Structure 1
Amino acid sequence: MQIDFLGMQAFLSIVENGGFQPAAVQLNLSQTAISHRIRKLEEGLGVRLIARTTRELTLTDAGRALLPRVRGAIRELEGSYDTLRQHRSSAPQWLTFACLPTLATSHIPNVLKRFATVYPDIAVRMFDNSIAEIAELVDSESAAFGISVNAPTRFNLAIERFTQEPFALVCPLGHRLLEREVVRWDDLIDETLVRISLHAGNSTTIDDALGNRRMQYRWGYETQHTGAAIDFVRAGLGLTVVPCLAATSYPGVVALPLVEPQITRCLATVMRPETLLVPAATALCEMIIEDIGNRLTAFNAWQRPASTDKAHA
Structure 2
Amino acid sequence: MRIDYLGIEAFLAIADHGSFQRAAKFLGLSQAALSHRLRKIETDLGVQLLVRSSHAISLTAAGEALLPKAGALLSQLQAVYDSVRVRQAEPTGKVAFACLPTLASALLPQVLSEIAEENPYLEIDVIEIPFREIGEKVRTGRCDFAISLISAASSDLITRPLGEEPYCAFMRNDNRLAERKSVTLEDLVEWPMVRLAPHKRSRQIIDKALEEKSSRIQWPYEVQSSALATRIVSRSTAISVLPMSAIALAPQDVVSVPIDDTRIARDLAVITRRDSTLSPAAEYVLGKVEKYVVAMTAP
TM-score in terms of structure 1 length: 0.63
- Report the alpha carbon displacement of residue 142 of structure 1 after superposing the two structures with TM: 0.6
Distance 1:280 1:118 in 2: 12
Q: Name stretches of at least 5 consecutive residues in structure 1 with no aligned partner.
A: 1-91, 301-313
Distance 1:228 1:249 in 2: 9
Runs of 4+ in 1 over 3 A off after TM superposition: none
2:274 pairs with 1:281: no
Tell me the secondary structure at the aligned position of residue 247 of structure 1: helix
Paired residues for 1:188-203 under 5 Å? 188-203=188-203
- Report the alpha carbon displacement of residue 249 of structure 1 after superposing the two structures with TM: 6.2
Tell me the secondary structure at the aligned position of residue 125 of structure 2: strand
Distance 2:291 2:124 in 1: 18
Distance 1:231 1:276 in 2: 41
Tell me the secondary structure at the aligned position of residue 106 of structure 2: coil
Paired-residue identity, %: 28
- Report the alpha carbon displacement of residue 154 of structure 1 after superposing the two structures with TM: 5.6
2:149 pairs with 1:149: yes
Taking structure 1 as reference, are residues 178 and 237 closer, same or farther at Cα in structure 2, changes over 3 Å only? closer
Taking structure 1 as reference, are residues 228 and 249 closer, same or farther at Cα in structure 2, changes over 3 Å only? closer
Does the aligned pair in 1 maintain the 2:95–2:123 contact within 8 Å? yes
Deviations 1:266-311 (A, max 9, x none): 00000001532112211211211211222334xx5xxxxxxxxxxx
- Report the alpha carbon displacement of residue 109 of structure 1 after superposing the two structures with TM: 1.7
Tell me the secondary structure at the aligned position of residue 241 of structure 1: strand
Does the aligned pair in 2 maintain the 1:132–1:153 contact within 8 Å? no
Paired residues for 1:242-257 under 5 Å? 242-248=242-248, 250=250, 251-257=252-258
**2:167 aligned residue:** 167
Paired residues for 1:77-96 under 5 Å? 94-96=94-96
Paired residues for 1:62-73 under 5 Å? none
**1:181 aligned residue:** 181
Does the aligned pair in 1 maintain the 2:182–2:258 contact within 8 Å? yes
Does the aligned pair in 2 maintain the 1:194–1:239 contact within 8 Å? yes
Deviations 1:233-255 (A, max 9, x none): 11124110101111156321111
Aligned-residue CA RMSD in angstroms? 1.8
Letter of the aligned partner of 2:280 in structure 1?
A: P
Tell me the secondary structure at the aligned position of residue 210 of structure 2: helix
Tell me the secondary structure at the aligned position of residue 204 of structure 2: helix
Letter of the aligned partner of 1:136 in structure 2?
A: E
Does the aligned pair in 1 maintain the 2:147–2:270 contact within 8 Å? yes
2:270 pairs with 1:269: yes
Taking structure 1 as reference, are residues 121 and 287 closer, same or farther at Cα in structure 2, changes over 3 Å only? same
Letter of the aligned partner of 1:280 in structure 2?
A: A
Distance 1:130 1:157 in 2: 17
Does the aligned pair in 1 maintain the 2:194–2:220 contact within 8 Å? yes
Tell me the secondary structure at the aligned position of residue 259 of structure 1: coil
Distance 1:211 1:193 in 2: 14
- Report the alpha carbon displacement of residue 116 of structure 1 after superposing the two structures with TM: 1.4
Q: Name stretches of at least 5 consecutive residues in structure 2 with no aligned partner.
A: 1-91
Aligned residue-pair number: 207
Does the aligned pair in 2 maintain the 1:119–1:280 contact within 8 Å? no
Does the aligned pair in 2 maintain the 1:248–1:254 contact within 8 Å? no
**1:136 aligned residue:** 136
Tell me the secondary structure at the aligned position of residue 107 of structure 1: helix
- Report the alpha carbon displacement of residue 106 of structure 1 after superposing the two structures with TM: 3.1
Does the aligned pair in 1 maintain the 2:230–2:249 contact within 8 Å? no
TM-score in terms of structure 2 length: 0.65
